[in-house]
Structure 1
């Protein structure tokens, strides 16, 4: 295959690419990461193809309402639609904006926004048809692709469930976990985007692996928390047992954690550092508790948006050195903001799913 000539649809139909997206192993990770380094101009096509594969790999031919919303969010993020803005309009601080910082939007100067949306939808639907048509035309006895289970939580929603091996997962708001059903193969690999707490059933013949971007966390029987929201550094915190954390793009990068230790992964520098962690602070979310302990305002905004499924606008820019403190268990957003406003001088309004904060 000549990757230099690949377009989005070529990646979608590449069997090895699809397997890498849905069930990566050490060999495929090294291969495709090398491709990304050799062909940086293909990054946009690969990312679009990845999103399409994730949506189309589900056995249902009918796109669900949730998948349709995700596709629409993707389209909106890829289109520049001019928008008038008054000088006093609040600055929107949302997790989506921060995570998409610096991303180049598609520029189609000859068409209106409506036609641009229609064009992208047609491309996606065309790929969907071709993808399923190709799968239907496979000869009997051909290689059958594995079936995947996907657990997703919307912002404001948390979920607890069991994996096929009996391991327990607590999935935080705005997170996604996917894996091959029945854990076929020689490992129990799950792919995480967001945050989850795992209580793993021991099985020495099949190690339990959590993949987050370039990093693998491997365990046999243990409990640990993984915080890996897009655009943020990753933190793996061990509660019981023992795990190893490694960067699959670098040799000899594995770090072993003992109980009470965390691995902090700097995605920009591609480094892993180890230190002790505050168990109450890291696991507070699993007990319905929001704990601000010297938390920057922008991080607090992200947490509250994710926790309550709201959009928060900040009208005036607070001091960058401002830190928030407070512990709130099973409290309403109204009560949390009232509590914080007593120690940090700001006014706020809540209207449906939108919150406005005005620092004095």
Structure 2
């Protein structure tokens, strides 16, 4: 008697059918749908099938060896598939669920966090956190700019991660700014104290570089992971009350803020980009604001729908 040990041309030809086959395919696809009871039943059916389809052959050592080898390969495949299936299911059970919020262009969005703290997102910003703040700390990941009003908890620190910076609350109200056009992440403290450091250095180095910022101070994180401390301008908090205020700000930074505020794309000529802008706008219609900008920067304004260009 001869046992054909040639591999099938179909990759699924030797896969078991039924619930175990579903478990194998689910493990491979990363979306398990079979219950533990169904998997156990599949194991019993697989064992019976192997015993039925792989009889021991008497009188042929080579055939018996081939049968034994194939049976072993079946079990190895089955065990590996079930392990993969179990790991995929465990990963889904253990991976924490994250909540997220974003502010569309032209809008501010305020949200209350699980601990009672609050975030106000500037237009075009987004933030996320682990649902329920499970774990040893309360951590928020930020893209853009947001104002934080934190309920202090000495046993469970509150951290904000933005680009390569980490701001840790020591009971306070503060802004974190991490816009693409900014060379550095910034933290501006309105009330209380914030510990500010970088997130890319080794832990000991980051702790050594940590700087405490107090009310009225602004910290800027440079490319070397060092924090420079300066005075915070109150204009930085004006957007919270619906006012755009700029105090000696580079034009390209101010125009990026205005673009997000009004939901338009503003392109500025390089010759104008570094000019300084000091201005205050309170609920002004966009055409009037653009006229004021043209006068302040000595620029010509061209508008096509939501595309605006400023040239000398």
- TM bin, normalised by shorter chain, reads 0.5 to 0.7
Conserved 8 A contact 1:193-1:230: no
Q: Say which of 215, 222, 235 aligns to 1:281.
A: 235
Shift of 1:344: 3.3
- 316-325 or 196-205, which moves further after superposition? 316-325
Conserved 8 A contact 1:243-1:258: yes
Alignment pair present for 1:133 and 2:29: yes
Alignment pair present for 1:335 and 2:288: yes
User: TM-score, structure 2 length as denominator?
Assistant: 0.66
Alpha carbons of structure 1 residues 132 and 293: separation in structure 2 relative to 1, 3 Å: farther
Deviation per CA, 1:217-276: give whole Å up to 9, x if none: 11143111100113521111111121211223151111111211121111x332211122
Q: Say which of 264, 268, 292 aligns to 2:220.
A: 264
Q: What is aligned with 1:293?
A: 247
Q: What is aligned with 1:179?
A: 129
Shift of 1:132: 10
Distance 1:242 1:317 in 2: 38
Conserved 8 A contact 2:218-2:229: yes
Shift of 1:188: 0.5
Which aligned pairs between 1:151-300 and structure 2 lie closer than 5 A?
151-230=101-180, 232=182, 233-248=184-199, 249-250=201-202, 251=205, 252-266=208-222, 268-278=223-233, 280-300=234-254
Distance 2:99 2:178 in 1: 19
Deviation per CA, 1:183-232: give whole Å up to 9, x if none: 00111001111100000012222111101123211114311110011352
Distance 2:272 2:308 in 1: 20
Q: What is aligned with 1:347?
A: 300
Q: What is aligned with 2:48?
A: none
Distance 1:313 1:275 in 2: 30
Distance 1:188 1:352 in 2: 42
Q: What is aligned with 1:311?
A: 265
User: TM-score, structure 1 length as denominator?
Assistant: 0.58
Unaligned residue ranges in structure 1 (runs of 5+):
1-129
Shift of 1:342: 2.9
Q: What is aligned with 1:322?
A: 275
Shift of 1:290: 1.4
Q: Secondary structure at the match of 1:173?
A: coil
